[in-house]
Amino acid sequence: MKTYQTHNLNEEKSKNYFKDIAFDNLFDLFDQEKESKFQYINTKIGPPVQLKTEEELISEIEKDQFEEISVNQGDNFAKILRKGGLKGRDIDRLLINGKDIYDFSKIYLGDIVKVQSNYNIEDNLEKFKMIYRFSENQELIVNYIDKNFAYEIRQIELFEEKIFVSGEITTSLYQAMKKAGLSELIITEIIRIYSFDVDFQRDIYEGDYFEALFTRRKNDQGKTVQIDDPEYLVLSSRGTPLIYYLYSNDEFSEYFDENGKGMTKSLMKTPINGARLSSNYGMRKHPILGYNKMHKGVDFAAPTGTPIFAAGNGVVEFAGKNGSYGNYIRIRHDSTYKTAYAHLNGFKKGVYGGVRVKQGDVIGFVGSTGRSTGPHLHYEIIVNGKQVNPSTLKLPSGRKLNDQQLEELKKLVVLKNQEIDGYKNKL
């Protein structure tokens, strides 16, 4: 494994495939035991230590006066504020006046609320401050100013790390990426990106390799809260490198090769991650019926519960039980193409007939329902009403760049290659 990082601050927001991932479900990008192996480059030394100002010292004293209250089972915001010393009438004022700023019904078990309150001898509120970090990159701050509560939602500053990773494939792409320290989240995304062009069972050989460059963002507590789309990807297939660059503008953000050929196809060849091709398209002896029968799709063996992706944009025509197919989904992509997914263990919440889905959305999970001998996905591509062989079907390509966009991409390719060379020269 070869891994390099650079550190700087960057406020730019990324249009990225990870934007829908909940922060509390976002695993750290790298295995913790590998942290000590990371190498840091271009890290700037901080300024000389300076004496604290009076304002900073006062701020530290105030910090020490905060009461840190842990949210326990059965707590709500009113109970937390009462534990922090705020009294009934002021609790009501705070919650009612701030309801347009924050939904105070949202408070989460195990969170910490910092409260500082003080009443004078006449039992009037003199001083109050509350800090509640309700997500990995946002916190609610309430101050008491001129006898009124003032509310603020503060964005936590994120620290940016550029990550370059490479590795050689000896057993499988998945194992090579795990060995390099990549998380399930990143592995799934890279496999999804390459699933348009690569049959992972037949196109990846021992000695092939991968490279990836991307950015992760951490908060002030060192927790990863955002992972941007990979900017540069390489996957060698049978010794031939497939190199993709992420090109973004105001209209779209997609992957292209250096000549402007889009990697996105209308349908994915492999709508599942980490599966083994267990039965191809064509005549075969049926494993249950015992006689030769036309197999009008391909089967991917995978553990029960493995996510299944929508192969392309479209509308769900059917989602339910369908005879020997068991739990079954059929998606209409346009007037020509449909795809079907059979033997599912279950459907993703919200997937039913009439729902519109996007390419790469999780629609269901691998199972063994219907006429099946074990957990697998039966996948069909239907062209003009007839099942065809997904392995040999030539699918229409994705977006075409205009002259201006192509020129911008070529400039991007030059700069990105120079950046990658910088990492490789450190080897």
What percent of the chain lies above the pLDDT cut of 90?
A: 43
Looking at domain 276-388, its CATH superfamily turns out to be Glucose Permease (Domain IIA) (2.70.70.10)
For 66-75, letters b (16+ CB in 10 Å) and e give beebebeeeb
Q: Given a cut of 90, is residue 418 above it in pLDDT?
A: yes
Of 40 and 376, the structure prediction assigns the larger pLDDT to 376
Q: What is the mean pLDDT of residues 341-368?
A: 93
Which tokens hold the place of 160?
Answer: 């940016």
Question: What topology does CATH give the domain 2-43+159-256?
Answer: Nuclear Transport Factor 2; Chain: A, (3.10.450)
404 pLDDT more than 90: yes
CATH code, residues 54-155: 3.10.450.350
pLDDT in tens, 210-229: 999 989 888 888 888 888 88
pLDDT digits (tens, 9 = 90+) for 74-83: 999 999 999 9
**pLDDT tens readout for residues 36-54:** 333 333 333 334 445 545 4
pLDDT score recorded for residue 22: 39
For 39-69, give the secondary structure using H, E and C: EECCCCCCCCCCCCCHHHHHHHHHHHCCEEE
Q: Where are the beta strands (DSSP E) in 157-306?
A: 159-168, 209-218, 224-227, 232-237, 240-248, 253-256, 276-279, 282-285, 292-295, 298-301
Predicted confidence band of residue 369 (pLDDT cuts 50, 70, 90) = very high
The better pLDDT of the pair 185, 385 is held by: 385
Mean pLDDT of the chain, nearest integer: 79
pLDDT > 70? residue 55: no
Q: Per-residue confidence at 63, pLDDT binned at 50, 70, 90?
A: low
Q: pLDDT grade, residue 180 (50/70/90)?
A: confident
d(CA 62, CA 57): 9
Report residue 173 as tokens.
Answer: 């792409």
Range in 26-40, 97-111, 228-242, 249-263 the model is least confident about: 26-40
Rounded to an integer, what distance in angstroms lies between the CA atom of residue 241 and that of residue 233? 10
Between 323 and 267, the more confident residue is 323
The DSSP code for 304 is T
Does the structure show a pLDDT above 90 at 114? yes
Question: Mean pLDDT across the stretch 321-343?
Answer: 92
DSSP per-residue letters across 58-120:
HHHHHHHTPEEEE--TT--HHHHHHHTT--HHHHHHHHHHTTTT--TT---TT-EEEEEEEE-
pLDDT bracket for residue 187 (50, 70, 90):
confident
Residue that has been written with the tokens 């060379």 in this structure = 421
Closest CA to 214 of 229, 225, 193: 229
Residues of the chain with CATH 2.70.70.10: 276-388
**Token digits of residue 128:** 């109050």
Share of the chain above pLDDT 70, in %: 77
Identity of residue 412: L
Contact 320, 328 (CB under 8 A): yes
* Residue-level pLDDT at 282: 39
**Pairing of β 298-301 and β 276-279:** antiparallel
Question: Could you tell me the sign of the dihedral formed by the alpha carbons of 279, 281, 285, 288, in that order?
Answer: positive
Would you place residue 427 in the very low, low, confident or very high pLDDT band (cuts 50, 70, 90)? Answer: low
* 3 state SS of 275: coil
- Mean pLDDT check: name the lowest of 1-5, 106-110, 164-168, 286-290: 286-290
Residue 4 predicted with pLDDT over 80? no
Q: Please, where in the chain does CATH 3.10.450.350 lie? A: 2-43+159-256, 54-155
